[in-house]
Amino acid sequence: MILARLALRNLLRQRRRTALTLMVVVAGFLALSLAGGFMAQTFQGLSDAAIRGGLGHLQVMPPGALEGDEAQSLEKALPDGEALAARLRRDPAVAEVLPRSQFMGLLSSGAKSVAFLGTAVDPVLEPRFMASAEALQGGAQSPGGAGSRWLSPDPAHREVILGIGLAKALGATVGSSLTLMSTTRDGALNAVDVDVVGLQDLGLRELNDRFLTVSLATANQLLDAGPARSRLSIVLKRPQDTASEQARIQALLPETSVKPWFELASFYRQVKLLYFAIFGFMGLVLFLVVLLATANTLLMSVMERVREFGVLRAMGLQPRQLLVLLQWEGAFLGLMGSALGLAATLLLRAGLNALHLQMPAPPGTSHGYELNIHFVPMVYLIVALGLQATLQVSALFPGLKAARLRIVEALRHV
């Protein structure tokens, strides 16, 4: 412990230099941990959007549902999706099961027809577990969206909610009557008249231009679907168990394919990879800056203490103990830098979040979001450990230089 005490005293002796070095470490900690908090916000937002956008935590689908397109509606469907949903609802780990059907066709206003991608949902369950109602609020702000409401639970009502781009293309507003055309499961052409009850802003322009939502009852009339459903979205009671529950439920339903949301959310995975690449490179550069700055400081400190090291060696200190002494100095710089960096991060995070800054809309999306840098202890721990390792490495070269000093020359050093 005497070496640790000596190291600490030496750092305190050169207060200005130590303070400057600590500033570099603190700046590195601050930049990396804030970036980590921002990444966490982004990932959280994207995962919420994916899960509450309809995927749920798990999706049950027929095997091969993700390979190739359907030649006709519900060609790749769970034949008795409703019975399967009822069975899964009895599972103690499942909070709810939301059956969905996906279909394509043409939407006509009489004067104009536009291709659409349709999703049929349960009008009662969907707003309770998914973000449908929030998308509806966004659509209500658009021209013609005033008075938007969710689909009626009454199966006799044939209603549709349109993406704002799709509504604009057809010149449709809330209250307009349109005709949905598609093929039934048997391949026959069918059509139903629907009333527009709402407009949705789904956040992505491509979706807004093509997407519409109807109730399962309306879709059944159009597609002659019976109990068949394209997918079952499972909402788990414990989202953190998604991976283990996927394996368990897949074993229970071997005739189906059970996928976790993160395998299906390709946008989420792409953004995650992109962020890891960008912030990984930034982290590498920052670690390099910290490494060079601290190595320089410690080397200067060694050069100023050559005679002192000579005396310590004369007294019987082993060369490797000088290496340990410098490692202690690096360790204290890392510990102090990380502690101060954490304090600065928490302060700056609180300040930035309190400003309610609006971030611009990310590429491909139609609206921005409020900056809310997350508190992520694991990121702080990883950054602290990374900086600590960097400082131990930076102390290595000065330590080796000190350990290699010849005692008689060190004692002569002026």
Interface positions, 52-111, toward other proteins (CB under 8 A): none
**Closest to other proteins by CB, 322 or 395:** 322
**44 is a contact residue toward other proteins (CB under 8 A):** no
Considering the complex, state which of residue 226 and residue 319 has its C-beta at the smaller distance from other proteins: 319
| CA separation for the pair 214, 266 (Å, rounded) | 25
CA Rg value for the chain: 31
Does 404 contact other proteins by CB under 8 A? no
| C-beta of 2 vs 378, nearer to other proteins | 2
Nearest to 258 by CA among 133, 91, 103: 91
x-or-dash string of contact with other proteins, 308-347, rule CB under 8 A: x--xxxxxxxxx-x--------------------------
Across the strands, what pairs with 231? Answer: 100
Looking at 30-38, 78-86, 352-360, 405-413, which segment touches other proteins (CB under 8 A)?
A: 405-413
Residue 13 binding other proteins, by CB under 8 A: yes
Tell me if residue 359 falls in helix, strand or coil: strand
DSSP class of residue 58 equals: E
4 lies in the site for other proteins, by CB under 8 A:
no
Site string for other proteins, 289-308 (x = CB under 8 A): ------------------xx
Cβ proximity to other proteins: between 274 and 408 the closer is 408
Closer by beta carbon to other proteins, 209 or else 329: 329
Q: Which of 134, 229, 148 is nearest to 195 (CA)?
A: 148
Span interacting with other proteins, options 5-13, 108-116, 256-264, 383-391, rule CB under 8 A: 5-13
Q: Which stretch binds other proteins (CB under 8 A): 10-18, 111-119, 294-302, 377-385?
A: 10-18
**CB nearer other proteins, residue 154 or residue 409:** 409
Q: What is the DSSP letter of 76?
A: S
Asked if 244 touches other proteins (CB under 8 A), the answer is no
Query: 360's torsion region: left (phi>0), alpha (psi -120 to 50) or beta?
Result: beta
CA angle 334, 340, 342 (to 5 degrees): 95
Q: CB 406 → other proteins: shortest distance, Å?
A: 8
Nearer to other proteins, 12 or 292 (CB): 12
**Calpha distance 97→236 (Å, rounded):** 9
> Whose Cβ is closer to other proteins: residue 247's or residue 408's?
408
For residue 247 the two structure tokens come to 């394996």
d(C-alpha 301, C-alpha 20), whole Å: 13
Tokens of 102: 């996906």
**Residue with the two structure tokens 């400082």:** 391
Residue 70: which residues within 8 A CB-CB, separation 6 or more? Answer: 76, 104
Q: Which residues of this protein are in contact with other proteins, per CB under 8 A? A: 2, 6, 9-10, 12-13, 307-308, 311-319, 321, 407-408, 411
